[in-house]
A and B are shown apart, each in its own frame.
Chain A
Amino acid sequence: MIQKKQLRVSAIENGTVIDHIPAKSLFNVITILGLHKFDNLITFGTNMESQRFGKKAIIKIADKYFANDEINRIAIAAPHAKLNIIRDYTVIEKRVVEVPDHIEGIAKCVNPKCITNVEAVVPKFKVLDKISVSLKCQYCEKITDQEHMVYL
Chain B
Amino acid sequence: MKNKSLVAINDLSKEEIVKILNLAEEFEKNPIQNTLCQKVVATLFFEPSTRTRLSFESAVNRLGGRVIGFSEASNTSVAKGESLKDTILTVANYSDMIVMRHPVEGSARYASEISPVPIINAGDGANQHPTQTLLDLFSIRKTQGTLNNLNIFLVGDLKYGRTVHSLLMAMSHFGATFTFVSPNELRMPDEYKIYLEEKGLKFSEQTDLNENLDKADIIYMTRVQKERFSDPVEYEKVKNVYVLREGMLQNTKENMRVLHPLPRVNEIHTDVDKNPKAYYFPQTMNGVFTRMAIMSLIFGLE
Quick check: is B109 within 8 A (CB to CB) of the other chain?
yes
Give 1 or 0 for each of A13-24: 1 = CB within 8 Å of chain B CB: 000000000000
In the complex the two chains form, what is the Cα distance from A89 to B109 in whole Å? Answer: 50
**A113 engages B125 (CB within 8 Å):** yes
Give 1 or 0 for each of B47-75: 1 = CB within 8 Å of chain A CB: 00000000000000000000000000000
Which among A1-9, A53-61, A99-107, A133-141 touches the partner chain? A133-141
Quick check: is B177 within 8 A (CB to CB) of the other chain?
no
**A140 engages B105 (CB within 8 Å):** yes
**What A residues does B85 contact at CB under 8 A?**
119-120
Q: Chain B's nearest CB lies how many Å from the CB of A126?
A: 12
Q: Which residue on B lies nearest to A137, using beta carbons?
A: B106
Q: Which of B125-172 contact A (CB under 8 A)?
A: 125-128
Q: Which of B6-40 contact A (CB under 8 A)?
A: 8
Q: Which residue on A lies nearest to B191, using beta carbons?
A: A143
Give 1 or 0 for each of B88-110: 1 = CB within 8 Å of chain A CB: 00000000000000011111011
Known contacts A138-B109, A139-B110, A141-B127: does B8 contact A115 (CB below 8 Å)? no
**What B residues does A137 contact at CB under 8 A?**
106
Q: Which of A72-130 contact B (CB under 8 A)?
A: 109, 111, 113-116, 118-121
In the complex the two chains form, what is the Cα distance from A142 to B104 in whole Å? Answer: 13
**B127 engages A140 (CB within 8 Å):** yes
**A115 engages B83 (CB within 8 Å):** no
**What A residues does B125 contact at CB under 8 A?**
113, 140
**What A residues does B191 contact at CB under 8 A?**
143
Q: Chain A's nearest CB lies how many Å from the CB of B166?
A: 11
Quick check: is B84 within 8 A (CB to CB) of the other chain?
yes
**What B residues does A140 contact at CB under 8 A?**
105-106, 124-125, 127
Q: Chain B's nearest CB lies how many Å from the CB of A12?
A: 42
Q: Chain B's nearest CB lies how many Å from the CB of A106?
A: 17
In the complex the two chains form, what is the Cα distance from A51 to B127 in whole Å? Answer: 43
**What B residues does A138 contact at CB under 8 A?**
106, 109
Residue among A113, A116, A143 facing the most chain B CB atoms (10 A cut-off): A113
Set A113, A114, A119, A141: member contacting B128, Cβ < 8 A: A141
**A119 engages B83 (CB within 8 Å):** yes
**B128 engages A115 (CB within 8 Å):** no
Known contacts A139-B110, A141-B127: does B105 contact A114 (CB below 8 Å)? yes
In the complex the two chains form, what is the Cα distance from A137 to B124 in whole Å? Answer: 14
Q: Which residue on A lies nearest to B86, using beta carbons?
A: A119
Residue among B106, B126, B127 facing the most chain A CB atoms (10 A cut-off): B106
**What B residues does A120 contact at CB under 8 A?**
83, 85
In the complex the two chains form, what is the Cα distance from A142 to B124 in whole Å? Answer: 13
Set A109, A115, A142, A143: member contacting B107, Cβ < 8 A: A115
In the complex the two chains form, what is the Cα distance from A113 to B125 in whole Å? Answer: 8
Q: Which residue on A lies nearest to B7, using beta carbons?
A: A139
Give 1 or 0 for each of A42-68: 1 = CB within 8 Å of chain B CB: 000000000000000000000000000
Question: Contact residues of A with B, CB < 8 Å?
Answer: 109, 111, 113-116, 118-121, 137-143
List 23 A-B pairs, Cβ < 8 Å.
A109-B106, A111-B105, A113-B125, A113-B126, A114-B104, A114-B105, A114-B106, A115-B104, A115-B106, A118-B107, A119-B83, A119-B84, A119-B85, A119-B104, A119-B110, A121-B106, A138-B106, A138-B109, A139-B105, A139-B106, A140-B127, A141-B8, A142-B105
